[in-house]
A and B are shown apart, each in its own frame.
Chain A
């Protein structure tokens, strides 16, 4: 099946002329058409542009022109990432019909590498959520079980890759939004170090935490896509000017890459509350790494329990500021309003934002408001320092940290919507990484008793993507979990 290829194998077959980019893109588009009634992973499918780009890729391959690493590869892009001339909504009514006049840097890098963008994928509105249930255009379903969430906020990105609608997808990760959906749908998700990948043209949620990264079928593809995305961008002042290593070389060792790797297991991440199946699978995964030659030791990240509180002060605070730009004047929705400018702002924002977005704007405005700034925002910034120091201490004698991704596997649709705090707590094992700005990868490491995927999280020090990829690749080479696929949902309708 063309839809099940990895980027690396598809690229090789394209180069050899055994496969055409148009056929590969057609297969992706057919797959999208067949599975969308069940999944609702796409907000916009760019079939015509994709087929044109694929034909161009075929022409380039035939000419023997120097092919980019992604020439002819169908890729889906999360709808918070600007795509020139293609509707970009952040899954919000307030941006309905918005067509960017420019590409985000990551979009441009994809195009420059030859990728065929097949469309824009669903997400939680403005990337705010852990289940993809906050999209203004309907939720995305988990291909492994249509009654369950695919995780959020990059749920559409993850579902599209897991279900074979695209060979890879771009997501964004602010508190775990690449890693949680990757774990819930049994694929690989990589969140780079903060500043490694440009945020120019990425619709901002929480600027000091957001980072773009790839969702792929295996670690090789994650390394390949990171190589395309990473690098300094003068248009993003937080982007770091530092050479991009050869990520493909980092994983060349395969299972031997684990030899001599020092792995820390933080006891707070294996605490009570972990679903027994998840703990078992993750412990078994650490055994695999030990058998492959890694040295394991227990460690402590004592401020882990404060991560969620810290995050849900800082992220909404930054969001309330970032989302002030949606005012009904320059782009997006304008609500009918008979009053003056203030009424226009208020009516537009009331009509355009969904419930969770309003909740976070309110929370952020509250913690930044006069009299509360020190008690909440400044306090959280200081706790962020403590969390960062915890990681620094552990990395003094560890190359990577290995943990579960989430306390449970994918939960049922509607299960947590009435209790925002319970929903926020599903990010407890991913949030620390964002607060400390670290790179982390998620790889599939098992199934629970209901047959739902379980993920393994591997965290590195700042700019330690190579170590993270090396460990992930070693685990993948020693196991078959990455080869599992969800049941085929083609021809099925979403359950009511």
Chain B
């Protein structure tokens, strides 16, 4: 297969990345090379093989629905790039 720059642009939009034209060209080439290597998996017949999502069989853990950690609002908001009092500030999204 050959990965086109248009396909790279589409994936970049899905991934929320604003790539430069140079990055788009570089990624089209390197991703294509990497994907070709991945196609070696097609040599294996996996028809009756179950997928492994997780290696250790753990049951879904349950706990009582109680607050176990109090939110430290100031400490959390201290990392925000923009805040207004106790709120995260974002660009206007509704006119």
Q: Which residues of A contact B (CB under 8 A)?
A: 97-99, 101, 193-195, 208, 234, 237-238, 240, 303, 305-306, 308-310, 312-313, 320, 324, 327-334, 337, 339-347, 349-350, 353, 355, 358-359, 361-363, 365-367, 369, 376, 378-386, 388, 420-421, 424, 436-437, 462
Contacts and interface: CB of A to CB of B under 8 A. Distances in A.
B67 interface: no
Interface of B: 8, 11-20, 23, 27, 30-31, 33-35, 37-42, 44, 46, 49-56, 58, 60-61, 63, 72, 75-76, 78-82, 88, 90-93
B56 to A, nearest CB: 4
A310 B46 CA distance: 13
Nearest to A345: B16
Contacts of A240: 56, 58
Given A208-B53, A309-B38, A334-B82, A363 B14 contact: no
A198 to B, nearest CB: 13
B17 A350 contact: yes
B44 A99 contact: no
A379 B78 contact: no
A350 B63 contact: no
A337 B56 contact: no
A345 B55 CA distance: 34
A462 B57 CA distance: 11
**Interface SS, A side:** helix
B4 to A, nearest CB: 12
B56 A462 contact: yes
A331 B80 contact: yes
Contact of B41 (A309, A320, A337, A342): A309
A330 B79 contact: yes
A349 B41 contact: no
Contacts of A424: 34
Given A341-B93, A345-B16, A421-B34, A195 B56 contact: yes
A365 B15 contact: yes
Nearest to B28: A362
Contacts of A334: 81-82
28 contacts: A98-B79, A101-B79, A195-B58, A234-B63, A237-B61, A305-B40, A308-B37, A313-B41, A327-B16, A337-B91, A339-B91, A340-B91, A342-B16, A343-B18, A347-B18, A359-B30, A363-B34, A365-B14, A365-B15, A366-B11, A369-B11, A376-B38, A380-B41, A381-B52, A381-B53, A382-B50, A384-B52, A421-B33
Given A341-B91, A378-B51, 10 more contacts: A332-B79, A334-B82, A358-B17, A361-B15, A362-B15, A379-B41, A381-B52, A382-B46, A382-B52, A385-B46
Contacts of B81: 328-329, 331-334
Contacts, number: 164
B15 A382 contact: no
A329 B41 contact: no
B82 to A, nearest CB: 7
Contacts of B46: 379, 382-383, 385-386
B91 A344 contact: yes
A437 B54 CA distance: 9
B16 A349 contact: yes
A381 B37 CA distance: 16
Nearest to B36: A421
B55 A462 contact: yes
A371 to B, nearest CB: 11
**Closest 8 A/B residue pairs (Cβ):** A437-B55, A381-B51, A101-B75, A334-B81, A382-B46, A346-B18, A331-B79, A365-B15
B72 A362 contact: no
> Which of B33, B34, B37 counts the most A-chain CB atoms under 10 A from its CB?
B34
A362 B31 contact: yes
Contacts of B92: 340
Contacts of A361: 15, 17
Contact of B38 (A101, A193, A313, A378): A313
A359 B17 contact: no
A341 B90 CA distance: 7
A194 B56 contact: yes
A437 B58 CA distance: 13
Nearest to A305: B40
